Amino acid sequence: MSEATVTVTDNRTGKNVALSIKDSVYGEAVVDIAGLPKELGLFSYDPGFVATASCTSAITFLDGPKGELMYRGYPIEQLAGKCSYIEICHLLLNGELPNTEQLRKFKHTITYHTMLNESLRNFFNGFNYDAHPMAMMCGVVGSLAAFYHDKLDIHDAEHRMITAHRLIAKMPTIAAACYKHNVGQPIIYPRNDLSYCGNLVYTMFATPCEDYEVDPVAEEALDILFILHADHEQNASTSTVRLAGSTGANPYACIAAGVACLWGPAHGGANEAVLKQLAQIGSVANIDRYVAKAKDRNDPFRLMGFGHRVYRNFDPRARLVKETCHKVLAKYGNDPLMELAMRLEDIALKDEFFIERKLYPNVDFYSGIIYKALGIPVNMFTVMFAVARTVGWISHWMEMMTEPNQKIGRPRQSYSGPQKRDVPPLVERK
């Protein structure tokens, strides 16, 4: 069969160019537009990259219409039901689920990198006690590059892997340290006898004054949430990490860029925004008023936790988060916000505006209710997302760094500024 192509004709000049179509293993095929500038003197124009594939990747696949999500070919529903988050880290990073021996070794490697350099711990004293934890995380993650000069050669596979291990291991310790600084308590050292998520619960809520027992319900809830947040193909923050990495920046700087990008309420900051919005709505009686605001094109108000660039039916993660929500609330007691969230979902999903625009609850809609039930403050919700997503970010960075024809990312633009003009002398300027 001849090569599949799309022919573009410029009707101003009558010139044609055949652009090759590349099949994907799953999902939409892609058309290679690299020839456009040279052949037709044209750039593609796609604000927000709604119709643009920025790279080839073998890590995660999403099917928007079907609401499917797979990590390295495994459906998320199976992974969430059969694996721990640390197994998912091995899968995303190395391409395969670990066997028993590989899991033992990987767990040991990650566990023995969880401590922070003692000098790094002093950084927290430089922040006001009420600094937003995401502001602290942005700064502290970027500063990790100041401590690990020994293994920062991005062209050395062994350096890349140890950096990945250090980041995955230290993010929970950094997250807990941000929380401890906010509450004025001493930063707690991780323990090597605890699981990944058990250590996060421990370092957040233990104090030097007494023994602290990690609640298995909290540990398991975090583990599931972290699996669901671990990766999501070329979302805004992962694309940021790739773009930063394409310049040759060190991986700690790239992950700090991802943390900064995730903070936005349209992205990872949505889980914090959902809880604030549910509190603002306050009661079921007010739902109609807020749904009307969300539908009003002149009102910038959005229903946080609703909608998604790719999922045009449902976010498979939202279903699993909602199930975990019910389990956690069964243990910790119901939360009126859960009732409110479910009524809001019910009303919105029956409303033509949301149906027509395929706006369904996304991963952020219910996750905050779980974090709140575990005693995690709202300003820490996006920090939790950043901890979980670090393995996805660093796996994409690793994949990009081993891409044979990797080049610096540098989009163009459509210029809308003034025509060329001469500089007037100061005295003549109006």
Site residues (CB under 6 A) for ligand SDX?
Answer: 48, 232, 235, 266-268, 270, 294, 297, 302-309, 357, 359, 362-364
The amino acid occupying position 369 is: I
8 A C-beta contact, residue 420 and residue 121? no
Return the H-helix or E-strand segment holding 20.
Answer: strand 15-22
Strand 60-63 and strand 74-75: the pairing is unpaired
Pick 188 or 257: Cβ nearer ligand SDX: 257
Active-site hit among 223, 231, 315, 364: 364
8 A C-beta contact, residue 176 and residue 298? no
Pick 214 or 243: Cβ nearer ligand SDX: 243
Minimum separation from the CB atom of position 83 to ligand SDX (A): 18
Minimum separation from the CB atom of position 359 to ligand SDX (A): 5
Q: Is 364 a catalytic residue?
A: yes
Q: Is 396 a catalytic residue?
A: no
Minimum separation from the CB atom of position 307 to ligand SDX (A): 2
| Residue of closest CB approach to ligand SDX | 307
The long-range contacts involving 237-244, CB below 8 angstroms and separated by at least 24 positions, are 237/261, 237/262, 237/267, 237/268, 237/389, 237/393, 238/389, 238/392, 238/393, 238/396, 239/49, 239/54, 241/393, 241/394, 241/396, 241/397, 242/54, 242/55, 242/396, 242/397, 242/400, 242/409, 243/409
Instruction: Report the SS3 class of residue 269.
Output: coil
Minimum separation from the CB atom of position 389 to ligand SDX (A): 7
Active-site hit among 63, 267, 335, 351: 267
- Quick one: DSSP state of residue 224? H
Pick 62 or 110: Cβ nearer ligand SDX: 62
In angstroms, rounded to a whole number, what is the distance separating the alpha carbons of residues 315 and 300? Answer: 23
Pick 235 or 395: Cβ nearer ligand SDX: 235
In angstroms, rounded to a whole number, what is the distance separating the alpha carbons of residues 274 and 211? Answer: 34
Active-site hit among 90, 165, 232, 308: 308
Minimum separation from the CB atom of position 184 to ligand SDX (A): 31
8 A C-beta contact, residue 365 and residue 341? yes
8 A C-beta contact, residue 138 and residue 262? no
Minimum separation from the CB atom of position 232 to ligand SDX (A): 3
Q: Is 149 a catalytic residue?
A: no
8 A C-beta contact, residue 387 and residue 133? no
Strand 68-71 and strand 74-75: the pairing is antiparallel
Pick 42 or 378: Cβ nearer ligand SDX: 378
Pick 163 or 362: Cβ nearer ligand SDX: 362
Q: Tell me the catalytic residues.
A: 267, 308, 364
